[in-house]
Each structure stands twice: as C-alpha cells, then as structure tokens.
Amino acid sequence: QQQVKQSPQSLIVQKGGISIINCAYENTAFDYFPWYQQFPGKGPALLIAIRPDVSEKKEGRFTISFNKSAKQFSLHIMDSQPGDSATYFCALKEAGTASKLTFGTGTRLQVTL
Amino acid sequence: DSGVTQTPKHLITATGQRVTLRCSPRSGDLSVYWYQQSLDQGLQFLIQYYNGEERAKGNILERFSAQQFPDLHSELNLSSLELGDSALYFCASSAEGYGYTFGSGTRLTVV
C-alpha cells in the first residue's frame, strides 16, 4: 500500500529556474513532513521539514508548501543551481508512538547550465 | 560525516550466503532504522529499534533479521541471499523520531 505519491519521477530545470516537486498522501494522520536530498553514492540528508499546523516554510532557496485539506505538499527550489542536481524524496511520519518515516519514490532533478 | 557509521561500505557475496551489516547511530540517538534502496527505487522501510527493542516492522523478509545491542549499535543480518537482495542498505538514527540522520549505506552485491 503506497501511502505517498511523489511526482514527477524526473525533472530537468535550467539554472536559475524554479524546481517544483509534489507529494500527495492518503488518509492516515501524519504529523511531520520532511524532504530529503540524496546525491549519488551518499545517504539521504534532511533538507527541510514542516509540521501540519504550518502552511509554508522557507529556508534559503528551499520552500515547503503544505495543503492539509488536499493532503498535498510540495518542495520549491528557487534559483536552481547545478549543485542542486540530486534525487529528492518526500516523507511522512505517522502521528503516534511509531516514528518511522514512509518515503516517496523520489524525483531525480537535473539542473542544466 | 553524518555521525551515523555503517560498515562495510561494499559487500560482494554469493547466493545462499549470509552477511551482517553494522550500524553505529549518532551519539545520543536511541532509535535505529534500516532501509533498503534498490536500483532506481525508493527507500523501503525494513525495521526500527528503539533502545534495544523492536519498535516497528516493515516489509522485512523472514530471511532478514536485526537487533540493537546495549551500546545501541545495530546489526542487520541477511541470510540465504538471492540476486534480488542486491541493493543499498541504509541505517538511520534519530533522537525523538523526527529528524532522521542517515549513514552512507552498505552496497550489497549478490552474485
């Protein structure tokens, strides 16, 4: 059962452009929505995260937009740079004692010059 | 360096064999999580331990098992290996269950 759907699978953006990655989730109550960035051969690294009581969070060029009623959240990368080329994963944590994260299938971003 | 140490980095073994992957969590983190990442696949949750006890279980095969020791390091044991078990295996740790920190992974190749 896939609890989170991530799109697009891959994305090519020109340098300076805006990269947008979307995730949609299903019914279970979640209380934490992080985004992870993974470079080839490395482990995923936490990029930015949001909780459901906030509709938007910005950290530098990275912004999470959260729509609780639509059960959707997205990552926006402003002024995309070649160094942003990586795979991005959204994730969800269910409210409750279990703290495991469920990850989306990933988006491979390529930023071209 | 994320603070989560995984060994070995690479492992090549034959079908039918058994291997052990090791993870040392970040100092102070009580939770350890194991994930499997196959080629072009997402991160599949295998199992979580919290302070030595199993906390949650995902789609972990019966041929796989894990444990967390008193010093909080964890081991993932994979037995009767099949070609399809070839993947990257990641360990992550967390304090309160929110911010995961991942290790660099163990790349397992079954030949």
State pLDDT tens for residues B26-81. Answer: 999 999 999 999 876 789 999 999 999 999 999 899 999 999 999 999 999 999 99
State pLDDT tens for residues B11-31. Answer: 999 999 999 999 999 999 999
Across chain A, the runs of DSSP E, i.e. the strands, are 4-7, 10-14, 19-25, 30-38, 45-50, 56-59, 62-67, 72-77, 86-94, 101-103, 107-112
CB B104 to CB A102 under 8 A?
Answer: no
Mean pLDDT score of chain B: 93
Q: Does A95 touch chain B (CB under 8 A)?
A: no
Chain B CB contacts of A46 below 8 Å: 99-101
Nearest residue on chain B to A92, alpha-carbon basis: B98
